[in-house]
Chains A and B, each alone.
Chain A
């Protein structure tokens, strides 16, 4: 993976010194909260319901064992012993004190990490495919480009005060696993007829209040021009993106307003002044950065492992795990393994400091000391020998990270929601828990097969509800939390936006609503047809009709103990219930 040189260290250190000074000026009252807010956001620090939240960047989702141990140490020292992996491959700590933030940044810098630009109206952490470098369908390894763009966008002087936040995702594989169509800029590395590398560039995608699928602005930007081309896109946006209305300030609104043809004309008019200029990426720089991502020392192994087949037939649970959590690898004898952070009863994407430390150890033992964070909020060990899968499974099971549910119903994408986030209309985590408990039976989940259930606590859509096969959105009605259900969304190459099925539901009704949606699917599906495929074939109507056919009990599906918790509210010592409720 990429390692800092003296320049990276120096820039990071200077940033921390700058922020330390800003924090002390805030604490002394020299800076007003209005002046300070934007500065802290660009250092990843939000003010949430209970405390400050620090969002640590994991550039393109790649993290070393040493870095993971530091995250564990930060969780222990400055938080309440856990962290939350987010849909943008970042890590969030929920219980941070303002005066500690500079020290946390210094701890992060000691392992070459940072929280730069993880919030604010600037270019955010660049996300990518969690199987970069190992996927069989990879055309180009996106990580060197992601790192080059990380450096370009870090403290870019022209783009720190954009109209709104700006998110870039990059993939290099045939199948898009980075949700590039719902980013402000989506990059897909491709090869042209001459075998040269370039990028298909999408612009103006995004979720939030106005979900839009990105539009292609250029089908091939040669890699050398990636910086200058992106710079022109962001420059046009900086000049003309709306600043009068926060809800219309994302680049998608500008692209819609101008039309893609006019937007492209403006971008390319600007680009003519910088194309082939000093921002052109040199072969030398690409080679330098790419060398950090060269393949580890793989052993020559047979692809088929007889012992593995025997272990699978002997242990049904192991077999399920292999089926769901083990992914193909481009090197014979190796596999990529997803460690599930979606165990029923645990907030999706949360990991304790014990799990983080243990995951670091697993990475060292099984996967060349490296992990990935996925935008589905799980962890990946990308380079595991197939002959060691059984040992890894046993170890991961001990840690509660071997739930064989990747891609299944309980592999829920979920934002922090109303338990933590000051923007939320409704709680997400307890709802994810209620759903997971209702459908905890693994045989049932395996029978339902691949399905994506995404929950956002508000329309900002951190839980990607628009692109869930089933999407749940928390809405506020006269101060009460309600949930809107949409179906038919999807990520990947066939990205689509879900449609709301009708009037919203109470918290307690949601598990039953999902049960009814699944009943329609089970009834209508053809063999091997996934939920989304059945839905696309038969349309929304049968699902909608069945959900609303008979009344839903307002308290349906909620156990007595849970209901008591909701009623009384409990002291905040578990991640699930905040004093707010």
Chain B
């Protein structure tokens, strides 16, 4: 089960992760709905391009720019959080949404936990594959931690001072 657009839904995608013996060129991509690593997409682009649907995922040390011209090829783009304290994925998501105009599903995968999900949602993630040892229903609560924010991000393109009438000095 995953969280998508604030609901818990079944997930029919598989995330392909390379293990020690796999190479991006040689790994076999199973049929069906698969989210492949960026390196696999880059190595097997010509074959994978013919698929009806395909997803790609970025590691935290990869960049949104690496996808730029291919961005429309994917039904899902995922960003991996190797550890929840690794914050690079937030800027990757922000770039995908704001600079590259990506409108499709943006999924957080890896060490995805309730207490980071509000910020993840703000930078542009709409789908969360919460860590499997955690209760997805509990994790869903994390999306409601705040009802407003000071600064602009992907979810809210205007900072608070441009959205509301703020209080003035008496």
| Other-chain residue from B86, B99, B153 in contact with A157 (beta carbon distance below 8 A) | B153
Binds A, one of B31-39, B70-78, B113-121: B113-121
Q: Per-position contact with B for A261-291: 1 when CB-CB < 8 Å, else 0?
A: 0000000000001000011011011001001
Q: Please judge, given known A-B contacts A10-B147, A38-B85, A151-B150, whether A158 and B90 are in contact too, CB under 8 Å.
A: yes
What A residues does B128 contact at CB under 8 A?
none
> How would residues 441 to 467 of chain A score, 1 for a CB under 8 Å from any chain B CB and 0 otherwise?
000000000000000000000000000
Whether A7 contacts B160 by the Cβ 8 Å rule is: yes
Residues of B contacting A157 with CB < 8 Å? 90, 118-120, 122-123, 149, 151, 153
Interface contact B146-A14, CB-CB below 8 Å: yes
Q: Which residue of B lies closest to A236 (CB)?
A: B91
Q: Give the CA-CA distance A216 to B161 in the complex, in Å.
A: 29
Name B149's contact: one of A11, A284, A285 (CB within 8 Å): A11
B169 touches A160 (CB 8 A): no
Check if A282 sits within 8 Å of B161, measured CB to CB.
Answer: yes
A156, CB-defined interface residue at 8 Å? yes
Q: How far is the CB of A157 from chain B (nearest CB, A)?
A: 4
Q: Is the CB of B151 within 8 A of A151?
A: yes
CA distance A39 to B153 in the complex (A): 21
Residue of A nearest to B131 (CB): A35
The answer to whether A278 touches B85 (Cβ under 8 A) is: no
User: B60's closest neighbor in chain A, by CB?
Assistant: A243
Interface of B, helix, strand, loop or mixed by DSSP: loop
Whole-angstrom CA separation of A152 from B158 in the bound complex:
12
Kindly provide the distance from the CB of B78 to the nearest chain A CB, expressed in whole angstroms.
18
A121 to B99, CA, bound (A): 25
Residues in chain A near residue B159, CB distance under 8 A = 152, 227, 278-279
**In the complex, what's the smallest C-beta–C-beta distance from A122 to chain B, in angstroms?**
9
- B167 in contact with A18 (CB, 8 Å): no
Interface centre among B94, B138, B147, B149 (most CB of A within 10 A): B149
C-alpha spacing A487/B16, complex, angstroms: 57
The range of chain B's interface size is 35 or more
CB < 8 Å neighbour of B88 from A156, A238, A285, A292: A238
Within the complex, what minimum Cβ distance (angstroms) separates A254 from chain B? 13
Q: Which residue of B63, B94, B115, B162 has the most chain A CB atoms within 10 A of its CB atom?
A: B115
B residues 72-116 near A (Cβ < 8 Å) are: 84-88, 90-91, 94, 98-99, 113, 115-116
**A197 contacts the other chain (Cβ, under 8 Å)?**
no
Contact A151:B98 (CB < 8 A) given known A5-B167, A158-B90, A238-B90: no
Contact yes or no, B160 A151, CB < 8 A: yes
Please, how many angstroms separate the alpha-carbon atoms of A151 and B149 in the complex? 9
Decide: B169 and A291 in contact? CB cutoff 8 A: yes
From B141, which residue of chain A is reached at the shortest CB distance?
A21
- Complex CA gap A235/B92 in Å reads 10
The answer to whether B150 and A155 have CB atoms under 8 Å apart is yes
Complex-state Cα separation, A156 to B169, whole angstroms:
25
Query: Does A6 interact with chain B (Cβ within 8 Å)?
Result: yes
For B91, give its contact among A155, A158, A243 (CB under 8 Å). A158
Let me know if B167 and A6 touch, CB within 8 A.
Answer: yes
Bound together, the chains give a CA A272 to CA B3 distance in angstroms of 34
**Is A341 in contact with chain B by the CB < 8 A criterion?**
no
B147 — which chain A residues lie within 8 A by C-beta? 10, 14
Chain A residues positioned under 8 Å from B86 (CB to CB): 161, 243
What chain B residues lie within 8 Å of A209 (beta carbons)? none
Interchain residue pairs A-B with the least CB separation, the first 4? A5-B167, A161-B87, A157-B122, A157-B119
CB of B10 within 8 Å of the partner chain: no
> 20 pairs across A/B with beta carbons < 8 Å?
A4-B167, A5-B166, A10-B148, A11-B148, A11-B150, A14-B145, A39-B115, A152-B150, A157-B90, A157-B120, A157-B153, A158-B123, A161-B84, A238-B87, A238-B90, A239-B63, A239-B88, A278-B162, A279-B151, A288-B168
Interface status of B52 (Cβ within 8 A of chain A): no
